[in-house]
Amino acid sequence: MRWRTGRKVLRTVYARLGDTPSDGDPLIGVMDTPELAKLAAAAPELLERLKEMPCIVCQTAVGAPPKSLGIPGITECPGCKLARAAIAGAEP
């Protein structure tokens, strides 16, 4: 789901239900500043893009099975472990 900032009150954040902003989009919240609202509105899309980025350590795509590192018993690098935990919202 994409989020957007308000069209009149730039500090509001809405969940965008369709392809274009509408008055029927539900309100998520009100931020302290318009700049903070822009950052909040961009966050869900950035998190989706993060899921597609490769691990900075072994270059394995985050959603792909981990590569073997050539060390018996270790099939996941620390970068992959941290990325998977962050996406799942869990502690590593």
Q: Can you tell me the distance from the alpha carbon of 2 to that of 19, in angstroms, rounded to the nearest whole number? A: 9
Nearest partner of 5 among 32, 39, 53, judged by Cα = 39
How do residues 9-59 score in pLDDT, each as one tens digit? 999 999 999 888 899 999 999 999 999 999 999 988 887 776 666 665 566
- Look at the chain and report how many structural domains it folds into: 2
Query: Is 4 in the same domain as 28?
Result: yes
Same domain assignment for residues 39 and 68? no
Per-residue model confidence (pLDDT) at position 50: 67
Q: Which of 47, 69, 84 is the last residue of a domain?
A: 47
40 and 58: one domain? Answer: no
pLDDT at 29: 95
Residues 42 and 8 in one domain: yes
Give the SS3 label for residue 89: coil
In a shared domain, residues 1 and 43: yes
Q: In a 10 Å sphere around its CB, with 0-12 CB exposed, 13-18 middle and 19+ buried, how is residue 74 labelled?
A: exposed
pLDDT digits (tens, 9 = 90+) for 60-74: 655 555 555 555 555
Find how far residue 8's CA is from the centre of its chain. Answer: 26
Q: Are residues 1 and 42 in the same domain?
A: yes
Is the pLDDT at 92 greater than 60, yes or no? Answer: no
Range of the structural domain that residue 92 is part of? 53-92
